[in-house]
Structure 1
Protein backbone atom coordinates (compact mmCIF):
# COMPACT_ATOMS: atom_id res chain seq x y z
CA UNK A 1 0.00 0.00 0.00
CA UNK A 2 1.28 3.46 -0.82
CA UNK A 3 0.82 5.09 2.57
CA UNK A 4 1.86 8.56 1.39
CA UNK A 5 -0.77 8.66 -1.34
CA UNK A 6 -3.42 7.37 1.03
CA UNK A 7 -2.37 9.97 3.60
CA UNK A 8 -2.78 12.77 1.04
CA UNK A 9 -6.13 11.35 -0.03
CA UNK A 10 -7.38 11.14 3.55
CA UNK A 11 -6.24 14.65 4.47
CA UNK A 12 -8.02 15.95 1.36
CA UNK A 13 -11.23 14.26 2.48
CA UNK A 14 -10.84 15.39 6.07
CA UNK A 15 -10.56 18.96 4.77
CA UNK A 16 -13.70 18.52 2.68
CA UNK A 17 -15.53 17.21 5.73
CA UNK A 18 -14.52 20.32 7.71
CA UNK A 19 -16.29 22.48 5.15
CA UNK A 20 -19.21 20.07 5.03
CA UNK A 21 -19.68 20.13 8.82
CA UNK A 22 -19.51 23.93 8.83
CA UNK A 23 -22.08 24.18 6.04
CA UNK A 24 -24.43 21.65 7.65
CA UNK A 25 -24.22 23.62 10.89
CA UNK A 26 -24.92 26.93 9.17
CA UNK A 27 -27.83 25.45 7.25
CA UNK A 28 -29.18 23.92 10.48
CA UNK A 29 -29.02 27.27 12.29
CA UNK A 30 -31.09 28.83 9.51
CA UNK A 31 -33.63 25.99 9.47
CA UNK A 32 -33.64 24.68 13.04
CA UNK A 33 -37.35 25.33 13.60
CA UNK A 34 -38.32 23.25 10.57
CA UNK A 35 -38.38 19.51 9.81
CA UNK A 36 -35.27 20.12 7.69
CA UNK A 37 -33.48 21.34 10.81
CA UNK A 38 -33.77 17.99 12.56
CA UNK A 39 -32.27 16.20 9.56
CA UNK A 40 -29.45 18.74 9.26
CA UNK A 41 -28.49 18.36 12.92
CA UNK A 42 -28.35 14.58 12.49
CA UNK A 43 -26.36 14.98 9.26
CA UNK A 44 -23.84 17.25 10.97
CA UNK A 45 -23.34 14.76 13.80
CA UNK A 46 -22.97 11.81 11.42
CA UNK A 47 -20.41 13.65 9.30
CA UNK A 48 -18.44 14.40 12.48
CA UNK A 49 -18.53 10.69 13.33
CA UNK A 50 -17.30 9.86 9.82
CA UNK A 51 -14.49 12.41 10.26
CA UNK A 52 -13.44 10.52 13.35
CA UNK A 53 -13.29 7.25 11.38
CA UNK A 54 -11.28 8.88 8.58
CA UNK A 55 -8.84 10.24 11.20
CA UNK A 56 -8.58 6.75 12.70
CA UNK A 57 -7.71 5.33 9.28
CA UNK A 58 -5.09 8.05 8.85
CA UNK A 59 -3.51 7.13 12.19
CA UNK A 60 -3.67 3.40 11.41
CA UNK A 61 -1.52 3.90 8.32
CA UNK A 62 0.95 5.98 10.29
CA UNK A 63 -0.19 9.26 8.82
CA UNK A 64 -0.82 12.58 10.44
CA UNK A 65 -2.93 15.58 9.62
CA UNK A 66 0.24 17.64 10.02
CA UNK A 67 0.75 21.15 8.77
CA UNK A 68 -0.37 20.29 5.23
CA UNK A 69 -3.58 18.66 6.44
CA UNK A 70 -4.36 21.50 8.83
CA UNK A 71 -3.75 24.00 6.02
CA UNK A 72 -6.23 22.13 3.82
CA UNK A 73 -8.77 22.09 6.64
CA UNK A 74 -8.27 25.80 7.29
CA UNK A 75 -8.76 26.53 3.60
CA UNK A 76 -12.01 24.53 3.59
CA UNK A 77 -13.19 26.36 6.71
CA UNK A 78 -12.38 29.74 5.15
CA UNK A 79 -14.04 28.79 1.85
CA UNK A 80 -17.25 27.90 3.69
CA UNK A 81 -17.18 31.23 5.51
CA UNK A 82 -16.54 33.15 2.27
CA UNK A 83 -19.45 31.31 0.67
CA UNK A 84 -21.73 33.12 3.08
CA UNK A 85 -21.07 36.39 1.25
CA UNK A 86 -22.77 35.14 -1.90
CA UNK A 87 -25.98 37.08 -2.30
CA UNK A 88 -28.90 34.73 -2.73
CA UNK A 89 -31.73 37.14 -3.46
CA UNK A 90 -31.56 38.74 -0.02
CA UNK A 91 -28.91 41.00 1.44
CA UNK A 92 -29.72 40.71 5.14
CA UNK A 93 -31.76 37.55 5.61
CA UNK A 94 -31.79 33.88 4.74
CA UNK A 95 -33.28 33.33 1.30
CA UNK A 96 -35.08 30.26 -0.08
CA UNK A 97 -32.34 30.30 -2.73
CA UNK A 98 -29.74 29.99 0.06
CA UNK A 99 -31.42 26.77 1.17
CA UNK A 100 -31.31 25.35 -2.37
CA UNK A 101 -27.63 26.20 -2.85
CA UNK A 102 -26.67 24.84 0.58
CA UNK A 103 -28.51 21.55 0.07
CA UNK A 104 -27.00 21.22 -3.41
CA UNK A 105 -23.51 21.77 -1.99
CA UNK A 106 -24.09 19.26 0.81
CA UNK A 107 -25.29 16.71 -1.78
CA UNK A 108 -22.13 17.23 -3.84
CA UNK A 109 -20.00 16.75 -0.72
CA UNK A 110 -21.89 13.52 0.02
CA UNK A 111 -20.80 12.18 -3.37
CA UNK A 112 -17.19 12.75 -2.29
CA UNK A 113 -17.76 10.84 0.94
CA UNK A 114 -19.39 7.95 -0.94
CA UNK A 115 -16.25 7.72 -3.07
CA UNK A 116 -14.05 7.89 0.05
CA UNK A 117 -15.74 4.95 1.76
CA UNK A 118 -15.97 2.97 -1.47
CA UNK A 119 -12.27 3.45 -2.21
CA UNK A 120 -11.27 2.53 1.34
CA UNK A 121 -13.42 -0.59 1.10
CA UNK A 122 -11.67 -1.50 -2.16
CA UNK A 123 -8.25 -1.52 -0.46
CA UNK A 124 -9.25 -2.69 3.04
CA UNK A 125 -8.87 -6.37 2.17
CA UNK A 126 -5.26 -5.76 1.14
CA UNK A 127 -4.09 -4.11 4.36
CA UNK A 128 -4.67 -5.59 7.80
CA UNK A 129 -4.43 -2.12 9.36
CA UNK A 130 -7.83 -1.35 7.86
CA UNK A 131 -9.53 -4.50 9.14
CA UNK A 132 -12.41 -4.03 11.53
CA UNK A 133 -13.85 -0.92 9.91
CA UNK A 134 -17.08 -1.46 8.03
CA UNK A 135 -16.52 0.91 5.13
CA UNK A 136 -19.61 -0.43 3.35
CA UNK A 137 -21.76 0.72 6.27
CA UNK A 138 -20.36 4.26 6.03
CA UNK A 139 -20.82 4.29 2.26
CA UNK A 140 -24.45 3.22 2.69
CA UNK A 141 -25.01 5.80 5.43
CA UNK A 142 -23.64 8.48 3.13
CA UNK A 143 -25.79 7.20 0.27
CA UNK A 144 -28.82 7.72 2.54
CA UNK A 145 -27.57 11.25 3.27
CA UNK A 146 -27.36 11.92 -0.47
CA UNK A 147 -30.85 10.59 -1.14
CA UNK A 148 -32.36 12.66 1.68
CA UNK A 149 -30.45 15.78 0.63
CA UNK A 150 -31.64 15.41 -2.96
CA UNK A 151 -35.25 14.96 -1.85
CA UNK A 152 -35.06 18.02 0.36
CA UNK A 153 -33.19 20.02 -2.31
CA UNK A 154 -35.93 19.31 -4.85
CA UNK A 155 -38.58 20.44 -2.36
CA UNK A 156 -36.56 23.58 -1.57
CA UNK A 157 -36.14 24.31 -5.29
CA UNK A 158 -39.89 24.05 -5.85
CA UNK A 159 -40.46 26.37 -2.91
CA UNK A 160 -37.83 28.88 -4.07
CA UNK A 161 -38.52 28.89 -7.79
CA UNK A 162 -42.23 28.09 -8.10
CA UNK A 163 -43.98 29.23 -4.94
CA UNK A 164 -41.65 32.11 -4.05
CA UNK A 165 -42.39 35.79 -4.50
CA UNK A 166 -42.83 36.83 -8.10
Structure 2
Protein backbone atom coordinates (compact mmCIF):
# COMPACT_ATOMS: atom_id res chain seq x y z
CA UNK A 1 0.00 0.00 0.00
CA UNK A 2 1.51 3.28 -1.11
CA UNK A 3 0.07 6.25 0.78
CA UNK A 4 1.36 9.76 1.15
CA UNK A 5 4.72 10.17 2.83
CA UNK A 6 4.31 11.91 6.17
CA UNK A 7 6.80 13.40 8.56
CA UNK A 8 7.19 12.00 12.04
CA UNK A 9 4.92 14.64 13.59
CA UNK A 10 1.18 14.00 13.24
CA UNK A 11 -0.58 16.83 11.42
CA UNK A 12 2.60 18.49 10.22
CA UNK A 13 3.24 19.60 6.70
CA UNK A 14 6.70 19.93 5.29
CA UNK A 15 7.85 22.90 3.24
CA UNK A 16 11.35 22.66 1.86
CA UNK A 17 12.12 19.95 4.39
CA UNK A 18 10.90 22.07 7.32
CA UNK A 19 8.31 20.61 9.68
CA UNK A 20 5.87 23.51 9.71
CA UNK A 21 3.97 22.36 12.79
CA UNK A 22 7.15 22.28 14.87
CA UNK A 23 8.35 25.53 13.32
CA UNK A 24 5.04 27.10 14.38
CA UNK A 25 5.58 25.96 17.97
CA UNK A 26 9.17 27.20 17.85
CA UNK A 27 8.28 30.64 16.49
CA UNK A 28 5.39 31.08 18.91
CA UNK A 29 7.70 30.24 21.79
CA UNK A 30 10.12 32.88 20.51
CA UNK A 31 7.22 35.33 20.17
CA UNK A 32 6.30 34.68 23.80
CA UNK A 33 9.91 35.35 24.81
CA UNK A 34 10.00 38.48 22.66
CA UNK A 35 6.81 39.70 24.33
CA UNK A 36 8.24 39.20 27.81
CA UNK A 37 11.57 40.73 26.75
CA UNK A 38 9.91 43.80 25.26
CA UNK A 39 7.96 44.31 28.48
CA UNK A 40 11.06 43.82 30.66
CA UNK A 41 13.31 46.18 28.69
CA UNK A 42 10.55 48.79 28.52
CA UNK A 43 10.18 48.66 32.29
CA UNK A 44 13.95 48.98 32.77
CA UNK A 45 14.14 51.92 30.34
CA UNK A 46 11.34 53.72 32.21
CA UNK A 47 12.90 53.00 35.61
CA UNK A 48 16.24 54.37 34.36
CA UNK A 49 14.85 57.39 32.49
CA UNK A 50 17.12 60.43 32.54
CA UNK A 51 20.34 58.47 33.13
CA UNK A 52 23.05 57.17 30.81
CA UNK A 53 21.71 53.66 31.40
CA UNK A 54 18.22 54.81 30.48
CA UNK A 55 19.45 56.33 27.21
CA UNK A 56 21.41 53.19 26.25
CA UNK A 57 18.64 50.78 27.24
CA UNK A 58 16.01 53.04 25.66
CA UNK A 59 17.66 52.47 22.30
CA UNK A 60 17.80 48.72 22.91
CA UNK A 61 14.12 48.80 23.93
CA UNK A 62 13.11 50.39 20.63
CA UNK A 63 15.12 47.76 18.72
CA UNK A 64 13.67 44.88 20.73
CA UNK A 65 10.15 46.09 19.96
CA UNK A 66 11.08 46.35 16.27
CA UNK A 67 12.55 42.83 16.40
CA UNK A 68 9.30 41.51 17.86
CA UNK A 69 7.35 43.14 15.03
CA UNK A 70 9.76 41.65 12.51
CA UNK A 71 9.23 38.21 14.04
CA UNK A 72 5.48 38.68 13.57
CA UNK A 73 6.08 39.61 9.92
CA UNK A 74 8.24 36.51 9.42
CA UNK A 75 5.51 34.38 10.98
CA UNK A 76 2.96 35.91 8.56
CA UNK A 77 5.29 35.24 5.61
CA UNK A 78 5.57 31.60 6.72
CA UNK A 79 1.80 31.31 7.35
CA UNK A 80 2.44 30.53 11.02
CA UNK A 81 -0.55 31.54 13.16
CA UNK A 82 0.05 33.45 16.38
CA UNK A 83 -0.88 31.46 19.47
CA UNK A 84 -2.29 34.32 21.50
CA UNK A 85 -2.46 32.30 24.72
CA UNK A 86 1.34 32.00 24.67
CA UNK A 87 1.76 35.74 24.15
CA UNK A 88 -0.70 36.48 26.95
CA UNK A 89 1.00 33.99 29.29
CA UNK A 90 4.43 35.54 28.65
CA UNK A 91 3.06 39.05 29.20
CA UNK A 92 1.45 37.95 32.47
CA UNK A 93 4.54 36.07 33.67
CA UNK A 94 6.73 39.12 33.08
CA UNK A 95 4.37 41.32 35.09
CA UNK A 96 4.26 38.74 37.91
CA UNK A 97 8.08 38.53 37.96
CA UNK A 98 8.18 42.19 38.99
CA UNK A 99 6.43 41.34 42.26
CA UNK A 100 9.39 39.47 43.76
CA UNK A 101 11.10 41.00 46.75
CA UNK A 102 14.20 43.09 46.13
CA UNK A 103 15.43 43.68 49.66
CA UNK A 104 13.78 47.11 49.83
CA UNK A 105 10.24 47.98 50.81
CA UNK A 106 9.47 51.21 49.00
CA UNK A 107 12.24 51.97 46.56
CA UNK A 108 14.00 50.16 43.80
CA UNK A 109 17.04 48.08 44.77
CA UNK A 110 20.26 48.38 42.73
CA UNK A 111 20.01 44.60 42.44
CA UNK A 112 16.75 45.00 40.52
CA UNK A 113 18.63 46.66 37.68
CA UNK A 114 21.36 44.02 37.71
CA UNK A 115 18.87 41.15 37.62
CA UNK A 116 16.81 42.83 34.89
CA UNK A 117 19.95 43.31 32.80
CA UNK A 118 20.86 39.64 33.32
CA UNK A 119 17.38 38.54 32.24
CA UNK A 120 17.61 40.88 29.27
CA UNK A 121 20.98 39.45 28.28
CA UNK A 122 19.55 35.92 28.32
CA UNK A 123 16.58 37.07 26.27
CA UNK A 124 18.76 38.69 23.62
CA UNK A 125 20.94 35.56 23.44
CA UNK A 126 17.81 33.45 22.95
CA UNK A 127 16.58 35.80 20.24
CA UNK A 128 19.94 35.56 18.45
CA UNK A 129 19.70 31.77 18.59
CA UNK A 130 16.27 31.99 16.97
CA UNK A 131 17.54 34.24 14.20
CA UNK A 132 20.44 31.82 13.65
CA UNK A 133 18.03 28.90 13.32
CA UNK A 134 15.92 30.81 10.80
CA UNK A 135 19.05 31.84 8.91
CA UNK A 136 19.98 28.17 8.52
CA UNK A 137 16.45 27.29 7.40
CA UNK A 138 16.67 30.02 4.76
CA UNK A 139 18.99 27.74 2.78
CA UNK A 140 15.95 25.57 1.92
CA UNK A 141 13.05 27.99 2.40
CA UNK A 142 12.95 30.90 -0.02
CA UNK A 143 10.31 32.69 2.07
CA UNK A 144 13.03 33.61 4.56
CA UNK A 145 15.08 36.71 3.73
CA UNK A 146 18.77 35.99 4.40
CA UNK A 147 19.76 39.67 4.27
CA UNK A 148 17.10 40.55 6.86
CA UNK A 149 18.17 37.68 9.10
CA UNK A 150 21.82 38.69 8.85
CA UNK A 151 20.82 42.24 9.83
CA UNK A 152 18.82 40.92 12.79
CA UNK A 153 21.78 38.80 13.91
CA UNK A 154 24.13 41.80 13.72
CA UNK A 155 21.67 43.91 15.70
CA UNK A 156 21.28 41.18 18.36
CA UNK A 157 25.06 41.05 18.71
CA UNK A 158 25.18 44.82 19.26
CA UNK A 159 22.34 44.57 21.79
CA UNK A 160 24.23 41.83 23.65
CA UNK A 161 27.33 44.04 23.83
CA UNK A 162 25.35 47.02 25.12
CA UNK A 163 23.45 45.01 27.72
CA UNK A 164 26.60 43.23 28.91
CA UNK A 165 28.53 46.49 29.25
CA UNK A 166 25.77 47.92 31.44
CA UNK A 167 25.26 44.67 33.34
CA UNK A 168 28.92 44.68 34.40
CA UNK A 169 28.77 48.37 35.30
CA UNK A 170 25.60 48.04 37.36
CA UNK A 171 26.77 44.83 39.10
CA UNK A 172 30.02 46.51 40.14
CA UNK A 173 28.17 49.58 41.39
CA UNK A 174 25.64 47.51 43.34
CA UNK A 175 27.95 44.87 44.78
CA UNK A 176 31.27 46.64 45.26
CA UNK A 177 31.49 48.09 48.79
CA UNK A 178 32.66 51.49 47.51
CA UNK A 179 29.72 51.61 45.08
CA UNK A 180 26.99 51.16 47.71
CA UNK A 181 24.89 54.09 48.85
Matches within 5 A, 1:15-164: 15-65=32-82, 69-131=83-145, 133-162=147-176, 163-164=179-180
SS of match in other structure, 1:87: coil
Can you list the C-alpha shifts for 1:66-125, whole angstroms capped at 9, x where unaligned?
Answer: xxx211111111111111111112121111000000000000001101101111000112
Distance between the aligned counterparts of 1:131 and 1:153, measured in 2?
32
Q: Which structure features the higher share of helix residues?
A: 1
Q: Matches of 1:133 and 1:140 in 2, distance apart?
A: 11
Higher relative contact order (CA 8 A, sep 6+): 1
Uncovered stretches (5+) of structure 1, i.e. residues with no partner: none
Please report the TM-score for the alignment, with normalisation by the length of structure 2: 0.85
> Structure 2: 5+ residue runs without aligned partners?
1-17
Number of corresponding residues: 162
Tell me which residue corresponds to 2:20: 3
Relative to the length of structure 1, the TM-score reads 0.93
Contact 1:125 1:131 (C-alpha < 8 Å) held by counterparts: no
Does the aligned pair in 1 maintain the 2:138–2:146 contact within 8 Å?
A: no
